[in-house]
Amino acid sequence: MKELDALIEISRLYGADPRFVIAGGGNTSYKDAEKLWVKASGHALATIDEEGFAVLDRKRLAPMRRRRYDSDPAVREEQVKNDLAIACLTKGRRPSVETSLHDCMEWRYVVHLHPTLVNGMMCSQFAKAECTDLFPEALYIEYTDPGYTLFKKVYNRIKAWREDNGAEPQVIFLQNHGIFVGADTTDEIRRIYDGIMARLEARVEPVPEGEVPVCEEAVEFVPAMRTVLSRAGRGCKTVQVTSNALTQWAMESWDAVKAPFTPDGIVYCKSEYLLLDGPDADAAEKAIERYIARRGHTPKVLLVPGVGLLAAGDSAKNAQVITDVFLDAVKVAWYAGSFGGAHPMNRRQIAFIDNWEVENYRRKVSSGARKGRVEGKTIIVTGAAQGFGEGIARELIREGANIVVADLNEVTGEKTAAAFNTLCRGNRSIFVKTNVADLDSVKALVRETVLQFGALDCFVSNAGVARAGDLETLTPETFEFVTKINYHAFFYCSKVASHVMKVQTARDPEYFADIIQVNSKSGLVGSKANYAYAGSKFGGIGLTQSFALELAPFRIKVNAICPGNYLDGPLWSDPEKGLFIQYLNAGKVPGAKTVADVREYYLSKVPMRKGCNPEDVCKAILYAIDQTGETGQAIPITGGQVMLA
């Protein structure tokens, strides 16, 4: 159906452009004489397809224009919802709350958006006068509660417009809400929007731009706030930090931004924001607890001088939405300065949105569904660009964790994180270039993790190298290289990670953090002609036990996972540098003439006749995280090759 294809195309065009749509807001429609196709609730315009549109019978919609509904808002909106359901031909797709408004505009296509520039004018003190002056051809509607009340007002005003002008309005501006544009072709829709944006751009000053440095205290302050926001059964929050010229202006111009401008702002950011005095964790904790006592929920938006915007979401995806929606509101406040200053929603209007069933439904849809075993936790996995680390991180992503891929291989690491994000629901993955053998690089890794996700719940020290050779052939330089990566790096990572974890455990007596070294069976038994690797891994077990003793009082568990041979991974099977070829050349396997001989030799040592794989290791990691009664353990995953007494 070419008309529906055109609707999908224009929906995606505007839905993917943050100047017009934030957090999937807005809705679009196409109609013929019999049916209306309108965006269903819970679908984003940027990625919408045919399945994202509800189809309604226009004959069943028409009586809603004349029906007298209950005067009680809650009862009335329930009645409207039921009538929309009766008219809906695609069961299971809830029509947009603005369906009737789309239906009453007699244009084939209707595109309703919330452009930042438009709302800069429509959320200003002089919105009506400015709109009438700039757009005399448009219909202006003063703020009205969304739902049936708004539909009736717009419907009646459209009828009056037709009588006065003998034509159908193509542009409808709604105060503190957005804009509707109607036309019989999508090309005409684009032309109208282009003209509107051009006129508005000529009237405003550009928003402030540029990054603002985050203070050093943030690496301790932010994890403390994430713990306070997550404790006492409040759910595992993800806290995203943004510090730029826009957040700086928001704090300096608090009166202009402290109240929401639009219903979407309330849906995603709640109706009250929290401005703190600075990165003082004790004072901030008290302010948050007072907020919760007053509001009955945790704040979504916190502004902190020296740190910036803290967006506290129920997931990484939600935190990003909160960030986008709030920064858009700050831009609206800035643009409103060109039209007489900001005009936020009033208390009654805010209360209506806060309690509106339709908006609660939107929150529920955007929150996600299935929960994994590490849902919402933030986990660093070193050496995760490929091989064992990639496999471990991939399994943790599927279990709901936010994953930081820490690796020196920048090209592969970026691709790996991008691939992980295709597996995510509400969680997220990022890549941070890291040299685990350099303390400053590890500090930068943890700092970036905190600013992106708000915390560090688990550090998986997986990065490692193996260089085979006997006492005659292995050089001191190679020995030092292996030791630096496998042994020293575990110390660096544990040192930096535990510092942040102590901040988190200090503010919640029920919270435990984890440091996990992916060690090896070679850390439990010696390895002929592979002593540099085995020695570093034996040392890793010693560090694990020692760190566990030191960190136990802080509820930081330190454990080691000791996998058997990952025979199918690049460490073993790389045709040039893999252990199979190294061991063959080093003569480690007596009588072996080929790589296949070496492989069979190692497989024969495993009672279960299988190599270890990342899924096996991840199960052990999940166990180590789940339990709170063991620390300092070396858990063998060897198929029975190594058994502990």
Q: What residues act catalytically?
A: 533
Residue reference for tokens 């041979």 = 565
Element (H, E) at 329: helix 316-336
Distance from C-alpha of 69 to C-alpha of 76, rounded to nearest angstrom: 6
Token reading at 294: 């007053």
- What is the residue whose two structure tokens read 């999508």? 186
- What's the half-sphere exposure (Cβ side, CA atoms, 13 Å) at 323? 23
Angle at 41 between CA 39 and CA 45, to 5 degrees: 50
Enter the tokens of residue 512.
């435990």
Structure-derived torsion over alpha carbons of residues 265, 269, 275, 279, reported in degrees to the nearest 10: -140
Place of tokens 């090309």: 187
Residue 80 CB partners (closer than 8 Å, separation 6+): 64, 69, 100, 147, 148
Q: How far apart are CA 438 and CA 327, in angstroms?
A: 36
DSSP letter string, 481-494: HHHIIIIIHHHHHH
Tokens of 457: 């719940």
CA distance 541 to 537: 7
Chain-centroid distance of CA 340 in Å reads 35
DSSP 128-183: HHHHHHH-TTSEEE----TTHHHHHHHHHHHHHHHHHHSS--SEEEETTTEEEEEE
Q: What is the Cα–Cα distance from 381 to 404, expressed in whole angstroms? A: 6
DSSP 333-381: HHHHGGGTSB----HHHHHHHHT-HHHHHHHHHHT-S---TTTT-EEEE
Tracing tokens 């660093």 back to the chain, one arrives at 380
For residue 45, which of 114, 146, 119, 116 has the smallest C-alpha distance?
114
Q: Is the dihedral of CA 539, 544, 549, 554 positive or negative?
A: positive
CA distance 7 to 4: 5
CA distance 25 to 19: 12
